Every structure is written in structure tokens, then in C-alpha cells.
């Protein structure tokens, strides 16, 4: 029998959640920059990168397989190794320009990341007692966010530095991703050594995969049979519509030449704007949103949060019309938008918790997150095609019209939210 390793959470929680955040950023943000540097038109760019979100939609279906086949520790370690290999192969493949192979590698990374999320979150609950689960929830979230900062910002900055020293754009990302895979390999090896081996970590017995999937189908039936399901469906799919259209177009807009309406920014500036300043502003907005929701409750916060999420999208319309030469106005505009988005997204999270209440709260919340992913993926599929047809100013004007949809579904939902829901000390 293998020797049981240290159960000290500081030895493995930070590194496991670094691995939960970094590949997510590589698939959802780095792919946009890489494909744009390869000269991919915006219609194909947003279509392909939006489809890469699909493995996270399948998490709820993949979960029974993870539970029933092997240990969660094994799933976690194997998926980490898979992501190391895929990231390395991505770096080696980029100079050859094989689009099909690059897409496959991003897709395998996405599936590996999705399965890793399931296994790592399950292992977290098995590897820690209830007290330590609560104690380390802030640690896991912090290292997840730090990994996103590195993936969305630092990697782009590193690739941009290589470009500033004469390396071509594709070659700079090749070196960056190979180097990133080496760091990921070290983290994966550390997890393999440091993660504990709790006795409770074993395949679930008593139910086969078929029985589990039938149970999942019954849970879904109970989800759609809930009172006011159609209202919930409209809200979950449409509340974030302005951001859903604009989020996939931000990097292309920042990088496109001025002649076609873009801002002609390099990868260093993109990394600072979208991956560093933007993420920090998003986190600050989320923190303030959580404080506001806890103090005044969801019903009182719904309209301010909806406006906060929707209206700051006007900064992109401003940037597309003015096309400022300096980077400071761009940084400020993105910070304003992402802060507002972070604040406004709190209402979405609180509503998912509200709608999920009841006997099957955990499963129903998981279904809500599937709809959340759909709400971002579907507009992204066509965002690039629309932008290429009408240009950036008209596209971002269309995004502002979508703000009316956000306000409309918010007004519909607000009338059914109980007074004081989400407020501190309110049941």
C-alpha cells in the first residue's frame, strides 16, 4: 500500500485550485488571442471559442462517471497530466499552423479541465473535515482567481514581451505555452506527492452509471416543474445578454487594426487591460456586490445591479467611436465595465440560489449553472458574424439595445422575489 501523504491543506489546496483556474483561462482567453494572432476572422473566432465552452455545460452529465469510476484523487492527478501534455502540444503545434489540431487540443484541454473541476471539488470535500472546508474556502477561491490573473494577463504579457524583442506573434505564444506547460508539470507533480489519500475517496457503490443518469433525468424534471420555471429560464438566459455579446468581442476589438475599427493594441497591453486590470476590477465589483446583497437583500439590489451590469457596456461604444490613441482611457473604460459587471453579477448568483431552494438545492443549482454557461455561449456563437457585418460602432450600439432586455427580465423577476431575501439575518 502506498504511504499516506500529509493532510495539511496548505500543502495541496492552493496548487489544486491553481490548476482549476489556469487551464480555464487558457481555453477561454488565450485561445482568443492566439487565434486572432493567427489571422482568424472574427466570425470564426467567436464561433470556435464559444464552442470550447461546451465541456463545462456537460459537467453535470460527466459528474456521475467521475463518481462511479475510480477515485477523485486519481481523476484529479490524471486530468492535470492531460492538461500539461495538451498545453505543451499546443505550444509545439502553433508554429505549424494546423488549425484542426490546435482546435482539438484546446477542446481536449477544456474537457480535461471540466472533469478536473468535478474531481477537485469533490476531493476538497473528502480531503477536509467540515471545519477546514469552511476555513479554506477563501484560500481555494483566492488561488483560483490568481490563476485566472496569470492565465488571462501574465501569459499575454510574457508573449507580448517576446514580440517586443523581435519574436513573431505565433512564435511568442509557442514559447510561452511550452514554458507554461513546464510550470504546470511541476505543480502537477507536487499535487501527486502532496495530496492526501482519504479513506472515503472511493468509487461510489450501489448505483451504476445508468441508474445515476436516470436519477439525473428525474432531478431535471423536478427542476423544470418548479413554479415560475419559464420566468427563471428567461432571466437566466437573458440577464447577461449585453455582456454575452461583448465578452467574446473585447479581445478582437482591442487587437484589430484601426482601419477596421479596432484599437491596434499589442499582447502586453491586452494582457494588462483584459487579464489584469479587468479581472481585479471584476473581483472588487463582486466583493462590493456581495456586501450590498447581504445588507439590503436581493429585491432592493436587483435594479441597481441590473443597471450596473448593463449600462457600463457603453464604454465600448465610446471606445469604438473615439478610438483613443493612448492606453489609459482603454484601461479606465475596461475597469469601469468589469467593476460594474462584477457588481451586477451578484444579483444573478443570488437569484440562482433563490430559485434552487428546496429538497434538491445542490442539483438544481447545478442546472442553473448550465443555463448560465448557455447564456454566455449562444450569443458568442454569432457575435463575430454580426460585428463583421455591421462594424464595431454599430455592434456596440446593438449591445446597448440589449441592455433593455436585461432591465425587462429584471423587472419581471423582481415582483416574485420575497422582501428581504438574501439580507443578513433574514430567513
* Contact assessment for residue 342 and residue 281, using Cβ atoms and an 8 Å cutoff: yes
Q: What is the pLDDT of residues 68-85, one digit of tens each?
A: 788 999 999 999 999 999
What per-residue confidence (pLDDT) applies to 206?
57
* Contact assessment for residue 220 and residue 127, using Cβ atoms and an 8 Å cutoff: no
* Contact assessment for residue 410 and residue 306, using Cβ atoms and an 8 Å cutoff: yes
* Contact assessment for residue 106 and residue 89, using Cβ atoms and an 8 Å cutoff: no
Phi, then psi, of 266 in degrees rounded to 5: -80, 175
- pLDDT band (50, 70, 90) for residue 343: very high
Q: What is the pLDDT of residues 308-322, one digit of tens each?
A: 999 999 999 999 999
What per-residue confidence (pLDDT) applies to 427?
43
Q: Is the pLDDT reported for residue 232 higher than 60? A: yes
Look up the pTM and report it: 0.89
Pick from 46, 163, 179, 35: nearest CA to 105: 35
- pLDDT band (50, 70, 90) for residue 145: confident
What per-residue confidence (pLDDT) applies to 100?
92
Q: Which residues fall within 8 angstroms of residue 172, CB to CB, at 6 or more apart?
A: 159, 160, 162, 163, 267
Q: Is the pLDDT reported for residue 209 higher than 90? A: no
Query: 160-174, 213-227, 258-272 — which is least confidently predicted?
Result: 213-227
Q: What is the pLDDT of residues 187-203, one digit of tens each?
A: 999 999 999 998 888 88
Q: Please state, rounded to an integer, the average pLDDT across all residues of the chain.
A: 90
Q: Is the pLDDT reported for residue 2 higher than 60? A: no
What per-residue confidence (pLDDT) applies to 323?
96
Amino acid at each position: 500500500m502506498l504511504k499516506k501523504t500529509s493532510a495539511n491543506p496548505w500543502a495541496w489546496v492552493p496548487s489544486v485550485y491553481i490548476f482549476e483556474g489556469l487551464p480555464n483561462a487558457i481555453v477561454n482567453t488565450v485561445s482568443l488571442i492566439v487565434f486572432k494572432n493567427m489571422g482568424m476572422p472574427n466570425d470564426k473566432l467567436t464561433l470556435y471559442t464559444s464552442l470550447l465552452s461546451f465541456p463545462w455545460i456537460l459537467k453535470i452529465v460527466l459528474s456521475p462517471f467521475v463518481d462511479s469510476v475510480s477515485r477523485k484523487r486519481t481523476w484529479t492527478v490524471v486530468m492535470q497530466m492531460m492538461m500539461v501534455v495538451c498545453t505543451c502540444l499546443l505550444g509545439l503545434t502553433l508554429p505549424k499552423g494546423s488549425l484542426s489540431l490546435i482546435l482539438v487540443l484546446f477542446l481536449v484541454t477544456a474537457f480535461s479541465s471540466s472533469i478536473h473541476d468535478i474531481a477537485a471539488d469533490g476531493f476538497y470535500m473528502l480531503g477536509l473535515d467540515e471545519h477546514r472546508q469552511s476555513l479554506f474556502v477563501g484560500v481555494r477561491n483566492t488561488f483560483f482567481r490568481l490563476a485566472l490573473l496569470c492565465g488571462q494577463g501574465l501569459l499575454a504579457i510574457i508573449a507580448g514581451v517576446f514580440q517586443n524583442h523581435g519574436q513573431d506573434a505565433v512564435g511568442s505564444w509557442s514559447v510561452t505555452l511550452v514554458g507554461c506547460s513546464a510550470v504546470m508539470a511541476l505543480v502537477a507533480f507536487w499535487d501527486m506527492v502532496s495530496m492526501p489519500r482519504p479513506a472515503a475517496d472511493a468509487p461510489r457503490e450501489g448505483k451504476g452509471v445508468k441508474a445515476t443518469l436516470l436519477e439525473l433525468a428525474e432531478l431535471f424534471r423536478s427542476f423544470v416543474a418548479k413554479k415560475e420555471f419559464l420566468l427563471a429560464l428567461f432571466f437566466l438566459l437573458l440577464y447577461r445578454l449585453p455582456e454575452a455579446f461583448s465578452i467574446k468581442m473585447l479581445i478582437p476589438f482591442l487587437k484589430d487594426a484601426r482601419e477596421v475599427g479596432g484599437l491596434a493594441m499589442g499582447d502586453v497591453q491586452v494582457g494588462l487591460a483584459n487579464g489584469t486590470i479587468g479581472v481585479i476590477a471584476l473581483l472588487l465589483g463582486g466583493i462590493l456586490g456581495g456586501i450590498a446583497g447581504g445588507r439590503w437583500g436581493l429585491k432592493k439590489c436587483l435594479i441597481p445591479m441590473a443597471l450596473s451590469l448593463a449600462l457600463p457596456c457603453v464604454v465600448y461604444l465610446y471606445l469604438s467611436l473615439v478610438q483613443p490613441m493612448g492606453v489609459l482611457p482603454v484601461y479606465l473604460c475596461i475597469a469601469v465595465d468589469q467593476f460594474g459587471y462584477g457588481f451586477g453579477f451578484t444579483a444573478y448568483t443570488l437569484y440562482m440560489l433563490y430559485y434552487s431552494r428546496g429538497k434538491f438545492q445542490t442539483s438544481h443549482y447545478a442546472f442553473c449553472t448550465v443555463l448560465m454557461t448557455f447564456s454566455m455561449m449562444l450569443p458568442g456563437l454569432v457575435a463575430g458574424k454580426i460585428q463583421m457585418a455591421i462594424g464595431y460602432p454599430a455592434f456596440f450600439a446593438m449591445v446597448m439595445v440589449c441592455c433593455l432586455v436585461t432591465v425587462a427580465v429584471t423587472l419581471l423577476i423582481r415582483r416574485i422575489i420575497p422582501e428581504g431575501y438574501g439580507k443578513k439575518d433574514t430567513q
